[in-house]
Amino acid sequence: MHAFLVDLRGYVPLHPFIVSIEALPALEALPGPSVHRVVDRIPLGPLKLKTVYVAALEPRGNGEVRGHAWQSPRVRLHTC
């Protein structure tokens, strides 16, 4: 189950907002999980808002996955 959950490329056909996902080199601060650049297009009335962020999903024990995301300017998200 971890393999599916932490492979962000598998989310593209499942999520209508995701346009693309590109693998990136591992981060020094987070060497374990794979890191990806994600491009979304979010509908906002007649417009579509493009958002780009870096995301990493880190497998933990007991089927748990910890998520990390970074977006400019200084937006950080870390799940427990």
- Mean of pLDDT values over 57-79: 85
Quick check: 7 pLDDT over 90? no
- Report which of residues 34 and 16 the model is more confident about: 16
pLDDT by residue (tens digit) across 25-53? 887 777 667 889 999 999 999 999 999 99
Residue among 46, 45, 44, 53 at smallest CA distance from 19: 53
Quick check: 80 pLDDT over 90? no
pLDDT by residue (tens digit) across 50-64? 999 999 888 877 778
Its pTM stands at: 0.79
Inter-residue long-range contacts of 31-34, CB under 8 Å, 24+ positions, other chains counted? 32/58, 33/6, 33/57, 33/58, 33/59, 33/68, 34/6, 34/7, 34/8
**The predicted structure's pLDDT at residue 66:** 86
